[in-house]
Structure formats: C-alpha cells, structure tokens
Structure 1
Amino acid sequence: MISILFVQGGGAGTHDDWDNHLVDSLGRALGAGYEIQYPRLPDEGDPQYAGWSTFLRAELAALPGTAVLVAHSTGAAILAGTLAQHPPPQRWGAVVLIAAPFVGPGGWPSAEFTLPADLGAKLPAGTPVHIFHGLADETVPPSHADLYARAVPQARVHRLPGRDHQLTNDLTEVAAAIRAAVGSR
C-alpha cells in the first residue's frame, strides 16, 4: 500500500467543501493500492505558515519515506516552504504541487516565509516533483507555475488548458504522474 499525504488549501470550509472533491477524484483515479491521508489543518480559514508548517512536520515524520506528498493551493506553498526550511532526510515517492502560489519574488508576498530561488536543491535528490496548474485559474495566476519551474528545475510542469483552481475537480493527470513516479522506484 502506497501512502499519500494530501495537504488541503486554505480558506473557510476548504477541507469539507472544496478539497474533499480533489481527494475523492484522486482516490478514484488511483484505484486500489493507495491510501490517502487527508488531515484537517488548523485554522483553515486563516492559514498561518508557522502553525501549518509545525503540523505538516509532524505528519511528515509519521510517513514512510516512500510516501507521496500532494498539496493544493496555499497548502502547497506551505508544504514547499516547510520542505525547504526543514529538508527531509529521505527521498519521497513524489512531491506534487497543485495550483500553488509562489511565495517570493515575482509571486505573492508574505511576511511569514519566502520560497528560496533554489527550492529544488532543498529537496532530496531523486524525488520526482510535479507542478500542476490550470490555465483558467482565477485564484492563483498560472504564471506562478513558471516561478516554480525556475526554482525547481527538475520539476515536470503540467499546464492544463481550461482547468480552474480546483482543476475542475479532476485529478486524473495527477494520478497518472503519481503512478509513473512510484512505478519508477
């Protein structure tokens, strides 16, 4: 069984009313052999880097090194920041960021954290990284995927035409990337 940690986005009701549809889609698309953990992050209506990062570090410590990390929106940016500030000792099965705002130069400002220009160098060597962004995203501009591509040059960037911030609740392409990544181990 392959473990997947799905990190929700921020905003009131996101866990139960929005990102749960992404988790359901991913589960259907992956099928048997995968176990998705979908914890509720603290204060989802007002996500703070320090609180979410601390929570995520505890979740990451409990996962096997073969686990796949999938994160959406604000949760993806905070996961990326957490991995950069606290580099994991093990190689993950994959890191998948969906509709992630880039926090730093050219992206969104934050007084709490900034993603480093060499984010990719902070990730364990050999960990597959995938960036997914809908080109019809009106929440996080699709140009943020380009900022991630520069910071994580080893990442595979998937720009999905006609897809919104929630990728129209269809994670078929994400599931295919996960299957390819864990099949390559």
Structure 2
Amino acid sequence: MTIEGRRYHAGDLPGRLLREAREMLEEGGLKKLNLRALAARAGFTPASMYHHYENKRALLAELAALGFGELRRSLENADREAADGARLRAWAIGYFEYAQTEPAMFALMFDPDIAEAPVVAEARDAALSRLHHVVEEVAEALGRDGAPIDKITLAVWAAAHGAAGLSAARPGQPQLIEDVITGLGALFPANRG
C-alpha cells in the first residue's frame, strides 16, 4: 500500500496510524477519533504514537495534507482528460467530485483547527498552484494578456469550494456544480475556459 507515493510495510507505525485514523474519520467523524481509540484499533500503545506524532492535531494535519495530495492528483487527472475549452470546468467538477466522494477527508482538510498547520498549508498551496497554472494557460490561450490570474484562480477555487460546501449541507444534488458553472458562464459569457 502507498500513501503519498511512499511504500509502507505492515510494521510502519505512522502509515498504519494514518490508515486507521482515516477509517475512523470516515466511520464517525472528528468527534469519534481520539488517540486512545486509534491506538487500540491499530494495536499499539498510546505512548508509542507520541514517537511519531506530537499530538492529535499533528496526526490530523498529516492526514489532511494527504487529502490535499489526493485532491491535487485528482485535479491533475481532470485537467489531462478535459476537452478543449473546458479545463476550468473540468477542474471545478474534479474538485466537487472529490468533496462528494471523500466528505470526511474534505471536511478535515478545511477544519479551522487543522487548516493552518504548516504541512496542511503547504499541501493546500500545491493544489492551488496547479489551478493557478491552469488559469494562466487558459488566459494565454484566450489571448487575455494582463488577466488578473490570482483573482481568477481564487474565484474558480471559491466557486468549486462553495458548491462542495452547499452540496455537503444539502446532499443528493450532484447537479449543483453544473448549476454554479452555468451561472458563472451566464454572468461572464466571454470568459469560457
């Protein structure tokens, strides 16, 4: 099994803790995930966990960073598979779909107590950097020299994140991201990409 490109063997405590923590997160959310229960589930003593993670926040930050790595790879795949003229749309849909398929991980990635940990901020910035690159290429292809790339990047991220958040609050609305994209397209018809 690999996590973030590294291979773990059965005796690797940090990898095992991350896998078990993720399963616990998916089963019961953050409130059910505590270090004693995690240690018991993983078959380790609670004290042994502190050799690898200073506290629960450090473990969760590492898990959130893992989520951002998965999200970034998902978005890169969406970009590669995008039809001509639909790269930003593919990115937004890929973001939305990750949030739909990994709701517990997605919630952790943006949890205010975890989001500003350096490892999480670095992983989030890597995902955002990928979108920034796509926006630059789309603007260049459209001949939009001087386009406010940073602001467009933020707008696309905010729209996709907002749709994901709305959908989490009102499940069963997979068309929500399409509605957001259509709305933005109607508002800014000349900015297709």
TM-score of the aligned structures, taking structure 2 as reference length = 0.32
Hey, which of these two has a bigger chunk of strand by percent? 1
TM-score of the aligned structures, taking structure 1 as reference length = 0.33
Larger Rg: 2
